[in-house]
Amino acid sequence: MIKSRSMSKKFISSFILFIVIPFIVTSVVVNKLYEGVLVSHYNEKTHQNMEQLSMDIELELRRIYLNVAKVSNENELLPLVNSWYEEKDSVKKLEISTKIESKLDYLFAYQGMINSIVFYSKNGQIFKYKDPLYKNDSDVKDSSLYKDSIKNKDKVFSINNFSSSDDVNANGIDFLVGISPEYSWYNTATEFIYCEIKTEALNSIYSRFTNDSVGKMIIADPKGKIVISPDKSLLGKDVSQVDYLKDINNKDNNSYQYNYKKDTKYISKYTSEKSGWTVINIIDEKALTKDTTNIMKILFAIFVVFNLFFILYCKTFFKDILKPIKELIKKMKGIKDGRLDEITNINTNLEEINELGSNYNKMINDIKNLIVERDLKERERSKEEMKVLQAQINPHFIYNTLNVIKLMAMISKAESIRKVTDSFMKLLSATFRSESTFITVREELEYLDNYADIMKVRFGDDFNLVVKVEEEVRNLYIIKLILQPIVENAIVHGINEIDGEKNIIIAGYVSEENLIFEVEDNGRGITDEEIERIFTSKEKSNTSFNHIGIKNIESRIRLNCGQGYGIKIESEKNKFTKVKLILPILMKKES
């Protein structure tokens, strides 16, 4: 049984199901899709920026390396440095030192990237252009920068800082550059040139790409040490020492998502194939999707306000609907108690509700009129029943007269006359008895036996009537005198016109919740056109005992049992005719 709900609850649940939930689901899905597109576009743009930044860094490093190489190849500078090593006179040594500094000032006049340059001779003498930031000269010779340069003459090498000079990055030096020039006619003593490069050059390039960025960029050298970072605490650290960057070199993709604590970070990297320097971009998911989150908040706020106004409107709207409907329901419940009260006038601006109330009032008036009309018809029917009782005098007179004939036949010992008269009296009794439309199958078969006895006298005892009905079927109920007209048709129009053995077989059984009776004869048969004419002809048949034809039998079945029941006829010319009755299974008489 379907559970009923009030109209308002059903509307609210429908509103939530078809409006609220789809809006929320659609908003979340669209937001996720837009975030995916946003992340994809951001990664694409970030990759382009990192690639360009890496190229600019390469150019700047190449320029720095060229300037350092220019110092080692300067044929005027190195002879001055060599003469400074050899000069013993302090005054002349100072003059040579001034010339060296002037020359270096000229070489790097407008660049401002050199913090200091230190020349090391093979004899252990050191000339310093500006003050270097390292503490001990021995730190330089112990560094990999010095060792790699000595092994590879005229090749520029760079490192971030010395392991013993933790204050280098703190003082703004991002990397150190060194070169060991070949000995020649202009370089007879300089073994190693050490340069400290300021960060301004790289920072200016870095700032061009980070001013408009929502994330942060980190630059690491080929050894994985962080050179530039907006987070100063990361400077000088290896990327493997940072939690969210420790696996960056193990990732197959250049862009990936990392769940860091309670936050999600999108990390992208680009490593230059030429220089080996790596640019890393890091952005928090919240920062990237901040705009979409704000848009979603605005949309939800608008949706909530819209729903509030809609609910207020619905409250007013349903007030005009529910109040008159409840009044109508109250009046309709009174009908069960016999109160046929008209509904009061409905004052609403809804045309349909007004029409509903008017139709209800009209229905009540119609019911009252029908009740009056029914009472009149009941009184008329009572009068007609009296007339019927009076009309039964003649059938009873016939019945009593036949009974006298039967007694006279018995006295005269005319058994055939008695038998026919007795059968005819039983058949008349069934015909005139009007207490019920339905009788048992057993009674119907008894009447059929009486009818068959009369027909055998009339047509001669030359046909067989075979009844195949099980005992449990005989106890069911069937429409009175429904089989007799069919048997009569089988005798008069079927087997009566053939020679040889004449058989009529009556079978009764239960199939698929229906009571089935089949009356089959081996007579002359009928064509399909004749079968169709039987059911479509508008002429009444007068061939049966009660002037009831096949079409009238089907009408009786459908009138008393319903449209799902009736008659089917199968026949083959000169072979057989089978009439099939489809009836309901009735265990007792109809009400």
Residue 71 has pLDDT above 80, yes or no: yes
Amino acid at 553: I
Burial letters 99-127, b for 16+ CB under 10 A, else e: bbeebbeeebeeeebbbbbbbbbeeebeb
pLDDT bracket for residue 48 (50, 70, 90): confident
pLDDT bracket for residue 451 (50, 70, 90): confident
What global pTM score does this model have? 0.44
Q: What integer pLDDT is reported at residue 389 of this predicted model?
A: 41
Residue 503 has pLDDT above 50, yes or no: yes
Residue 392 has pLDDT above 50, yes or no: no
Q: Which of these ranges, 230-234, 292-296, 344-348, 392-396, has the smallest mean pLDDT?
A: 392-396
Q: What integer pLDDT is reported at residue 267 of this predicted model?
A: 81
Q: What is the spatial distance between Cα 414 and Cα 327, in angstroms, rounded to a whole number?
A: 80
Amino acid at 30: V
The model's pLDDT over 521-550, given as tens digits with 9 standing for 90+, comes to 998 888 888 888 888 776 544 444 333 478
| Mean pLDDT comparison of 46-60, 63-77, 521-535, 542-556, highest-scoring range | 521-535
Residue 448 has pLDDT above 70, yes or no: yes
The model's pLDDT over 114-135, given as tens digits with 9 standing for 90+, comes to 788 999 998 889 999 988 887 7
Give the mean model confidence (pLDDT) for residues 403-429: 64
| Mean pLDDT comparison of 193-207, 254-268, 280-294, 565-579, highest-scoring range | 565-579
Q: What is the spatial distance between Cα 353 and Cα 254, in angstroms, rounded to a whole number?
A: 68
Q: What integer pLDDT is reported at residue 508 of this predicted model?
A: 93
pLDDT bracket for residue 168 (50, 70, 90): very low
The answer to whether 406 and 418 are in contact (CB under 8 A) is: yes
Q: What integer pLDDT is reported at residue 219 of this predicted model?
A: 81
Give the mean model confidence (pLDDT) for residues 472-489: 88
The answer to whether 585 and 515 are in contact (CB under 8 A) is: yes
Q: What integer pLDDT is reported at residue 426 of this predicted model?
A: 66
In the numeric block, the tokens 């009472």 are attached to 375
Q: What integer pLDDT is reported at residue 452 of this predicted model?
A: 81
The answer to whether 199 and 228 are in contact (CB under 8 A) is: yes
Residue 384 has pLDDT above 60, yes or no: no
Number of Cβ atoms within 10 Å of the Cβ of 363? 14
Residue 511 has pLDDT above 70, yes or no: yes
**Number of helices and strands (H, E) in the chain?**
18, 17
Q: Provide the H-helix boundaries in 117-232.
A: 137-141, 144-151, 167-170, 200-210
Q: What integer pLDDT is reported at residue 142 of this predicted model?
A: 85
The model's pLDDT over 180-211, given as tens digits with 9 standing for 90+, comes to 998 888 888 899 999 888 766 666 677 766 66
Q: What integer pLDDT is reported at residue 415 of this predicted model?
A: 64
Helix (H, G, I), strand (E, B) or coil at 6: coil
The answer to whether 266 and 288 are in contact (CB under 8 A) is: yes
Q: Which of these ranges, 174-183, 206-215, 249-258, 497-506, has the smallest mean pLDDT?
A: 206-215
Residue 483: what are its φ and ψ, rounded to 5°? Answer: -90, -30
Give the mean model confidence (pLDDT) for residues 345-353: 67
Give the mean model confidence (pLDDT) for residues 162-166: 44
The answer to whether 229 and 216 are in contact (CB under 8 A) is: yes
The answer to whether 179 and 156 are in contact (CB under 8 A) is: yes
Residue 341 has pLDDT above 60, yes or no: yes
3-state secondary structure 423-462: HHHHHHHHHHCCCCCEEEHHHHHHHHHHHHHHHHHHHCCC
Q: What is the spatial distance between Cα 97 and Cα 265, in angstroms, rounded to a whole number?
A: 54
Rg (CA), the chain: 59
Q: What is the spatial distance between Cα 101 and Cα 98, in angstroms, rounded to a whole number?
A: 5
Give the mean model confidence (pLDDT) for residues 548-565: 81
Where is pLDDT greater, at 127 or 397? Answer: 127
Q: What is the spatial distance between Cα 578 and Cα 526, in angstroms, rounded to a whole number?
A: 10
Residue 464 has pLDDT above 80, yes or no: yes
